[in-house]
Homo-oligomer: A and B are copies of this chain.
Amino acid sequence: MSDSPPDDDRPLDPRQLSAYFALSEVGSLLQHEVERHLRAEGGLSTVQFQLLASLDASDGRLTMTQLADGVVYSRSGLTYQVGLLEKAGLVTRGPSPDDERSTLVSITDEGRALVERILPGHIRVVRGRLFEPLSDEDLDRLGDIMTRVRDHMRARPPRSAAPRRRRGPAD
């Protein structure tokens, strides 16, 4: 870490490129297939399922902010989606006892039941599409890599633009 090499402005080498493209593609494909399955199976979008799953995994109640933080999503979009879930009777919204501003979202029994019902099929999709061609060792490695990347991305909030404005930009 003595002096940063000019690594930053070099093009990606072929290995990086191919890894990046493959990752993007897998992400998109997986997302689409999961979407399709959830829609067909339980009439839910991916986000809605993630929200219910988050609630189910935690203590059953989270604030809007906690939910939005887990799922990568805009605040207003979250309001909309939680509204739909509430209308469907899968969650309820109420004020937080601690903080009058916060809305506490709680999963209903019906919501839990739906998650339980959809989960097996969801898992089957993920297993069949994602994990099938991977060995145990691949799996460990993938988990390790992705966890590290995620922590890295979560650690540093994204600079909106101009990551290093040392020299005047040609803009």
Contacts and interface: CB of A to CB of B under 8 A. Distances in A.
A130 to B, nearest CB: 6
A8 interface: yes
A136 to B, nearest CB: 8
Interface stretch (A26-34, A60-68, A87-95, A104-112): A26-34
A149 interface: yes
Task: Give the number of times this chain occurs in the complex, counting copies.
Answer: 2
A160 B22 CA distance: 23
Interface string A107-132: 00000000000011001101111111
A84 interface: no
Contacts of A18: 143, 147
6 contacts: A12-B126, A15-B139, A16-B131, A23-B142, A29-B154, A40-B161
Contacts of A154: 29
A24 B149 CA distance: 12
Contacts of A160: 36, 40
Contacts of A8: 124, 127-128
A1 interface: no
B19 A146 contact: yes
Interface string A74-98: 0000000000000000000000000
